[in-house]
A and B are shown apart, each in its own frame.
Chain A
Amino acid sequence: MSSLDSVFAAYVLGWAVFFVFYLTVARRTATLDKEVERLKNTLNRGK
């Protein structure tokens, strides 16, 4: 691997880690958001 390839690999993999981390947080937030809404609707129907 040339030096330039190493530099590109470092930047691309580093960015990928942050991007994947952001995606997992966004996905967990969206799932939980839906679950809260579902529970709220269930509660409202029960009242």
Chain B
Amino acid sequence: MGKRALAGAVVVFLMGAAAYASFYIAPEEKTMHVLQRIFYFHAATAWAGMTALFIGFVANLLYVWRREGKWDALGVACAEVGLACFTVVLITGPIWAKPAWGIYWTWDARLTSTFILWLLYVSYLLLRTLIEEPDRRALLSALFGIFAFIDVPIVFGAIRWWRTQHPAPVIMGGPGSGLDPTMSKVFFFSVFALHCLVVFLINERYRLEKLRAKFEIVRREAEAI
């Protein structure tokens, strides 16, 4: 079994274990009962998505500074994986919201800033398809990626700065917040599993981008003959 297949198998196992822990090990919450179990997947995916976008932000800064193709490749890999994570967040959130709040969606600070974040990274990927010249594409998308990342701390802070529909944070939420110790362990295990998945996916997507660069070199050689 190759290293990548082994890594994929480990990630699938961790994701399965996290789901098992969320359903069978975490105690039932008093007010939302079984519905609260979405939290372990929804919030952990959001944290992992923010990590992916942060790595992408650093890669974009490094590209602007150094102009090396590897940072552009890492930037786009992280943007796609972060976008996948926030797609999951925007799907699981409304599924949780409907039975809990009676509505799928409301334009509150957290939900709106998350939706804007999703739109910004869709725009980042669209921008890349519109520019032909590789160096110009890499520079403009790195600059746009740096701009798009400004929304990540707003998403993180939205439920801390403004009290609207979305619940207040239970982790890093200040006095009065917190989780039952078993819930906390299950949540951080889910965060770990989702981070492993994100690292695996970034690596796979980065590999594709490196292959694209190789393809460009071989294509130019073929055209020169």
- Give the Cβ gap from B72 to chain A, nearest Cβ, in Å: 17
Of all chain A residues, the one with the shortest Cβ separation from B200 is: A22
Distance, CA A22 to CA B201, complexed state (A): 7
Verify B211–A32 contact, CB threshold 8 A: yes
Convert B35-77 into 0s and 1s, putting 1 for each residue whose CB lies closer than 8 angstroms to a CB of A: 1011001100100000000000000000000000000000000
Contact partners of A14 in chain B: CB under 8 A: 41, 45, 88, 91-92
- Give the Cβ gap from B74 to chain A, nearest Cβ, in Å: 14
Contact partners of B111 in chain A: CB under 8 A: none
Contact partners of A9 in chain B: CB under 8 A: 95
A26 interface neighbour in B15, B23, B91, B204, Cβ under 8 Å? B204
Verify B84–A18 contact, CB threshold 8 A: yes
Query: Which residues 14-38 of B sit at the A interface, judged by CB distance below 8 A?
Result: 15, 19, 23, 32-35, 37-38
Verify A28–B208 contact, CB threshold 8 A: yes
- Give the Cβ gap from A44 to chain B, nearest Cβ, in Å: 11
Q: How many contacting A-B pairs (Cβ < 8 A)?
A: 87
Stretch at the interface among B115-123, B148-156, B170-178, B215-223: B215-223
- Give the Cβ gap from A24 to chain B, nearest Cβ, in Å: 9
Distance, CA A9 to CA B125, complexed state (A): 28
Distance, CA A21 to CA B80, complexed state (A): 9
Q: Does chain A have a CB within 8 A of B225?
A: yes
Convert A16-44 into 0s and 1s, putting 1 for each residue whose CB lies closer than 8 angstroms to a CB of B: 01100110011011001101100110110
Distance, CA A22 to CA B214, complexed state (A): 21
Q: Does chain A have a CB within 8 A of B212?
A: yes
Given the known inter-chain contacts A1-B99, A4-B34, A6-B98, please indicate yes or no for A11 contacting B41, CB distance below 8 A. yes
- Give the Cβ gap from A7 to chain B, nearest Cβ, in Å: 5
Contact partners of A36 in chain B: CB under 8 A: 211, 214-215, 218
Distance, CA A40 to CA B87, complexed state (A): 38
Contact partners of B197 in chain A: CB under 8 A: 18
Distance, CA A32 to CA B208, complexed state (A): 8
A-B contact pairs, 17 of them (CB 8 A): A1-B99, A3-B33, A9-B95, A10-B42, A14-B41, A14-B45, A14-B92, A17-B88, A22-B204, A25-B201, A25-B204, A26-B204, A28-B208, A29-B207, A36-B218, A43-B221, A46-B222
Q: CB within 8 Å of B: which residues of A?
A: 1, 3-4, 6-7, 9-11, 13-15, 17-18, 21-22, 25-26, 28-29, 32-33, 35-36, 39-40, 42-43, 46
